Amino acid sequence: MIARDGKKMIGLWLEEGIFGEKLPEVEKLKGVPQPEEYHGEGDAFVHTMLAVEEVADDADIRVFWATLLHDIGKSVTTELVGGRWRSFGHAEAGAGMTAAIMDRLDMTQFSQDVTWLVKNHLFHFSWQIKPNSKLTRNQLRFMEHPLFPLLLEVCAADAAASIGKNTRKTEMLKMITELFADLKK
């Protein structure tokens, strides 16, 4: 299975009007606000669907599912804090919902991997990488995880679907991708 298969599946669900029945956790993202400086594209549902479009058709199916589910935790964590919309803990909350969704869709074989990808889709924000910086031992170890290349694809789709003034997410991801490529040489 590849991402194209997943895209066709949700396309059919949308056409048939059963998307919300199949994926109520994603449907609940409609109307969930996001900070405009990072997400000028609109609510969390619009962002998610734009991110899914960014996944290459021949990408691993786990990248597709993780991208589709990466922000589902925002439906339960989003709140207005200090005049700004925040979704603290949404990656962990979403990861906690992922296994049940994958099981319900009869895709248990992908459950553990997709859960890990959803849980870690924000990893790059905590790394504080600057140009020419060295990675820590823990960062290097994290990059050795067999799913790390797929995580970079999920993060790239997420970043491409984030329309805003702040480019920090894209810049950080580019640096990490380059460091990862250097390690693989």
Please write the tens of the pLDDT for every residue from 59-80. Answer: 999 999 999 999 999 999 999 9
Which are the contacts of 95, defined by CB distance < 8 A and separation ≥ 6? 73, 115, 116, 118, 119
**Would you mind telling me the total number of residues written for the chain in this entry?**
185
Looking up tokens 């797929």 gives 150
Structure tokens at 179: 């460091």
Q: What is the pTM of this model?
A: 0.93
| Sign of the C-alpha dihedral computed for residues 56, 62, 66 and 68 taken in this order | positive
pLDDT band of residue 128 (cuts 50, 70, 90) is: confident
Helix axes 168-184, 148-160, angle to 10 degrees: 150
Which sequence spans correspond to the domains of the chain? 3-184
pLDDT band of residue 165 (cuts 50, 70, 90) is: low
CB atoms within 10 A of CB 3: 23
Q: What is the CATH number of domain 3-184?
A: 1.10.3210
With 0-12 CB in 10 A as exposed, 13-18 as middle and 19+ as buried, what is 96? middle
Taking a C-beta distance cutoff of 8 angstroms, is the pair 47, 162 a contact?
yes
Report percent pLDDT > 90 for the chain. 72
- Looking at residue 178, its pLDDT comes to 85
Helix H or strand E encompassing 25: helix 24-27
